Structure formats: structure tokens, C-alpha cells
Amino acid sequence: MSQRPAVLRLFAHREPTLLVTGQTVSAFGDGVANVALTLLVLDTTHSVSSLAWFTVARMVPFVAFVLVGGAIVDRHSRRLLLLASDLARAALTGGLVALLVTGTLHFGELIVFAVAFGTFDAVFTPAMSALTPEIVPESLLGAMNSVRPLSNNVFGGMIGPAVGGLIAASSTTAAMAVDAATFIVSALALILMKPTAAPARHVGTNMINEIKTGMGYVRRTPWIWTSMSAASLLNALVLTPIFVLIPFLLRHDLHASKATLGYFFATAGLAGAVGALVSGNLPTPRRRIRTIWIAWTACNLVVLVVALGTRTWEFFIIPLVTSPGVLYGNVIYESMLQSIVPRELLGRVSSVDWFASLGLSPVGLVVAGYVSGAVGVRTYFIAAALISIVPGLLILFSRRINAIDADR
């Protein structure tokens, strides 16, 4: 009898099932809210730069505090930190709903909301990465790292945005209330999980030294720091601006409907879901680093479609390629971190990874907004893709960086 697919075997374990269930519901709410907030900012300001600033307002505190977040994650129970973050974000979203109900919400309040949300994300994200190997067998890490984005893409990237577009068309308040409720459901799933202990650490060490220890590990590991650096450029110039500039291009240049904007996000979710389902059941490749960068380089090149596209459907090719390609590389990369990095360092190494990978993205978004306003979205993406492809090609052909896979 053939062995069941890894994704199905994962759900034989109670704790991963609870975690994935709660995060799936929360992802649906995020998908609803993302479309609602995007439309709210565009309809209020009619400006791509304002949408870029809103996204930057969420990313800056994440980048600023994620290293501290990683140190916190390596000091306390990762499950309790996830629970606290979910409850805090439920309260923040509920506050936004209250402002909408009273008619007192302005762009300034949206910026404050984004900043606070990003701050709690700085703890939630490394906590999720560090909790995973505590509750999942090592043989199923790849499956877990694909199931999470699978649920995020199906419910957060496809169903959520599609439903969000319909709800937001009549009531932005209702869309945000749905998001607040889903954070509560996620928190309940975490409450039902078995308690997890705080990781072992040297008593008396201060947080600054602990952050330095994590950064030192990254600096001594070539495959990590080079991938982080190259991914930072790719994210800043190409992958992050895609979901700001392409919706603007569709809405204001091609005069696409609001529903079409929702379908664009939904296409990214559908493609990512298919990619996650396939990735979770594929064996780990022998040449992991090269496989990661082949996938991510393909994502870089496909954005050149914007230089040629004149019809709405042509732009849907971009999420059809980038979503599964980015996800496949992420599954391999995150599984490598979780299986190679010592458990007591994983929160900090994960936070350094997020800090480096997204560190330039806020600046990249602002630059993309102004440059595309001056030379056009199409010209911007041609230049960005050609610049950001160079580091990935260097990694592909570097023996030193690929030495981690030499004996596989």
C-alpha cells in the first residue's frame, strides 16, 4: 500500500491541525480586509503613492521591531505569544470598525492602524516559524510549511478577497468586522492547543546580546545571509510593489472594475494554493539552494509582462507565476532553517531573516510609487526586474554558497 501524501499525514497530529485551522479562519478575514482597505485608500485619496505609504506604514514597524520580536520569541512560550498577538490585533481591528461606524475614520487613522498592526506582526511572524518544529515531526516540516501558505492562499488570497470585494462594495465596516471576528476564532484555536514551554536560554543574558548571537549565526552561514540579501532586493524592487502598482495600473490605466481588482488578488491566491498543494507533497530537492533561486528568478522575469500587456487578462499571468514560484522557494528555504538552525536560536534567526528580507521593502515601495509616477509602471518594472535578477544569478553559480548541498 502506498504511503498517504505528507499533507494528509500532517492532519493526524492534533496540534498542527488546531494551528492550521485557526490560521485558516484568520487568513480568510485578512483576505476580506486587504481588499476592503485597498479600495478604501484608493477611493479616498485616488493616489498610488498614498496606497504605497499605507503599505509602508505597516511594514516599517515590522522591520524596526522584528529583531526584538525574535529575541522575545526565544524567551517565552511561542504559543502564548501567538495568542497575545491575535487578541491584540482583534482589538485593533475592532477599533477600526468603531471609527467606521461613527464616521470619524480618515487616512491618518488608517496609518496609525497599519503601524500598530505591523508592530504585533513583528512578534507573530518569528513566533509562528519557531513554534512549527516544536509541534510538527521533522519529516513533516515541508508539509506544514506548505499547508500554511495553502490555507493562506485559498482563504486569504482567493476566497477572502473575492468575498471581501463583494462585501466592501456595500459596506467596508462589515468587511472589517468579519476580520476582527476571525482573529477571535484563531485565538480560541491557540487556547485549545497544549501548552508549550519557553525555550532554554542562558539566564542573565540581556536582549541585545541575544540579538547579536542570532545575527552572528546568520553571518557565519553563507547560504542564509546571501539568500537574505538577494531576497531583500527582489522583494523591495519587484515582489512587494506588484500588489500596489499593478492594481493601480488595472484601475486607473485600463479602467478595470473593482470586481476585477478582487479577481486579481484571488488569482494570486488560487495559483499559490495550487503551488502549496504540490510543494507539500514533493520530495526535498537535492540541490536546495539552486532550486530556490531558479524558482525565484522565474518570478522576477515574469513581471516583464507589464511592459507588453495592453489587456487586463495579460496581467493575470503575473500572479499565476509569482505566487506558486515564491511559495515553492519559501517552503524549501523555511524547512532548511527549521531543520538546520538550533531550536534555541530559531526565533532570532527567523527574525533576522524577516528583517533582512523585508528591510528594504518600505523604501522600495516609496521609490516604486514615485518612480512609476514619473516614468510609468511599465518602465519601472523593466528596470527593477533587470537590476534584482543579478544577485540571484550569482547565488545560482556560486560553489561556496551551494556547499550546504554538496554532500546530499
Give Cβ neighbours of residue 293 (< 8 Å, ≥ 6 apart).
Answer: 227, 230, 329, 392, 395, 396
Whether residue 1 lies inside any domain: the answer is no
Is residue 351 over pLDDT 80?
Answer: yes
Whether residue 165 lies inside any domain: the answer is yes
Q: How far apart are alpha carbons 182 and 179 in whole angstroms?
A: 5
For residue range 224-234, what is the model confidence (pLDDT) as tens digits? 999 999 999 99
Q: How far apart are alpha carbons 164 and 403 in whole angstroms?
A: 46
Per-residue pLDDT, 202: 59
Where is pLDDT greater, at 202 or 123?
A: 123
Question: Average pLDDT for residues 30-54, to the nearest whole number?
Answer: 77
Is residue 289 over pLDDT 90?
Answer: yes
Question: Average pLDDT for residues 89-107, to the nearest whole number?
Answer: 87
Q: In this structure, are residues 238 and 383 in contact, taking their beta carbons and an 8 Å threshold?
A: no
For residue range 24-41, what is the model confidence (pLDDT) as tens digits? 999 999 888 888 787 777
Question: Average pLDDT for residues 47-65, to the nearest whole number?
Answer: 80
Whether residue 33 lies inside any domain: the answer is yes
Whether residue 198 lies inside any domain: the answer is no
67 is written with which cell numbers? 529583531
Whether residue 266 lies inside any domain: the answer is yes
Q: How much of the chain exceeds pLDDT 70, in percent?
A: 96
Q: 392: domain CATH number?
A: 1.20.1250.20
Is residue 294 over pLDDT 80?
Answer: yes
For residue range 386-397, what is the model confidence (pLDDT) as tens digits? 999 999 999 999
Q: In this structure, are residues 175 and 36 in contact, taking their beta carbons and an 8 Å threshold?
A: yes
Per-residue pLDDT, 207: 78
pTM of the complete model beyond 0.75: no
pLDDT-derived band at 204 (thresholds 50, 70, 90) equals low
Q: What is the overall mean pLDDT for the chain? A: 85
Per-residue pLDDT, 2: 47
Domain count of the chain?
Answer: 1
Whether residue 199 lies inside any domain: the answer is no
Per-residue pLDDT, 243: 77
Whether residue 357 lies inside any domain: the answer is yes
Backbone torsions φ then ψ of 239, nearest 5 degrees: -70, -40
Per-residue pLDDT, 392: 92
Q: How far apart are alpha carbons 143 and 277 in whole angstroms?
A: 9
Domain, as residue range, for 235? 6-192+204-405
Whether residue 49 lies inside any domain: the answer is yes
**CA nearest 254: which of 289, 306, 330?**
306
